[in-house]
């Protein structure tokens, strides 16, 4: 796919998997808006990019509708449209927390970012995405959101689930399918990516081995889904290493 002149927005783009998605799309030739809550960290991430890559910082807090609206307005003024939205921003608050100690307040924090934030950003971006001839939305999910995996006691992920994070990713998967069905007639593809267990700040406190996958590895499938051609699939869950790997819902 020729990405010349295509425009992408990546939420949570200043570090980890998000940063590598930004870098990878910019290397494809996209103009990429790196969305981040913290202006200092966001601008530092942009400045650290290689010369020749068109990466632009935009302040964006997915939990703040005013911030989201301002970011989308800024993008519209500069480009007029959006070809790709990558909903990457995500948090966890309950690694290693026993289920009988789980607090609904922690879950609300997680859902505000991982679920409601996706709805806020997607709704705000839809008018710009509809101006694209090949719009794509990529939701960065997790195998921990696969009900098929979690319902199989023999699957290793069934023992790693958490009330907040895992259920929020299951909800994100449901959103992915709902959006895919609703936007099919508009030609907007909506898919989910499972990056695998990547060593990032987010899972530093995970009570199980984090493996040796890097953020570059984790960005592979989100980038592939973000660069799908017009005849590419919609409503699929793929990863962690290729589009040939289907994750069951």
CA distance linking residue 83 with residue 186, whole number of Å: 13
Across the beta sheet with 55-59, the strand order is 55-59, 31-36, 7-10, 84-87, 136-140, 189-193, 237-238
CB atoms within 10 A of CB 56: 17
Strands (DSSP E) along 69-110, which ranges?
84-87
Cα torsion angle, 34, 39, 45, 47, sign: positive
CA distance linking residue 143 with residue 99, whole number of Å: 19
Q: Which residue has the tokens 């530093």?
A: 204
Q: Nearest Cα to 123, choosing from 185, 183, 193?
A: 183
CA distance linking residue 177 with residue 86, whole number of Å: 15
Q: Catalytic residue, from 33, 111, 165, 179: name it.
A: 165
By residue count, the chain amounts to 249
Neighbour-count burial of 222, counting CB atoms closer than 10 A to its CB (0-12 exposed, 13-18 middle, 19+ buried): buried
Q: Which residue has the tokens 């480009």?
A: 79
111 is a catalytic site residue: no
What residues are annotated to the active site? 165
């Amino acid at each position: 796919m020729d990405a010349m002149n295509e425009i992408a927005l990546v939420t949570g783009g200043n570090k980890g998997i998000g940063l590598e998605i930004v870098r990878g799309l910019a290397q494809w030739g996209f103009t990429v808006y790196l969305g981040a809550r913290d202006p200092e960290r966001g601008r530092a991430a942009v400045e650290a990019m290689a010369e020749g890559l068109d990466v632009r910082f935009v302040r964006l807090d997915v939990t703040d509708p005013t911030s989201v609206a301002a970011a989308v307005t800024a993008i519209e003024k500069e480009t007029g449209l959006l070809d790709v939205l990558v909903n990457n921003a995500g948090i966890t608050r309950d690694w290693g927390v026993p289920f009988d100690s789980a607090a609904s307040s922690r879950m609300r924090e997680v859902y505000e970012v991982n679920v409601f934030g996706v709805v806020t950003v997607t709704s705000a971006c839809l008018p710009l995405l509809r101006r694209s001839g090949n719009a794509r939305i990529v939701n960065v999910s997790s195998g921990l959101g696969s009900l098929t995996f979690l319902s199989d006691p023999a699957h290793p992920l069934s023992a790693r689930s958490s009330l907040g994070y895992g259920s929020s990713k299951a909800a994100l998967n449901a959103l992915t399918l709902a959006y895919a069905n609703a936007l099919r007639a508009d030609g907007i593809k909506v898919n989910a990516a499972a990056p695998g267990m990547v060593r990032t700040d987010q899972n530093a406190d995970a009570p199980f081995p984090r493996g040796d996958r890097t953020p570059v590895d984790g960005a592979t499938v989100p980038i592939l889904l973000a660069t799908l051609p017009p005849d590419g699939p919609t409503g699929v869950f793929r990863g962690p290493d290729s589009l040939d790997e289907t994750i069951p819902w």
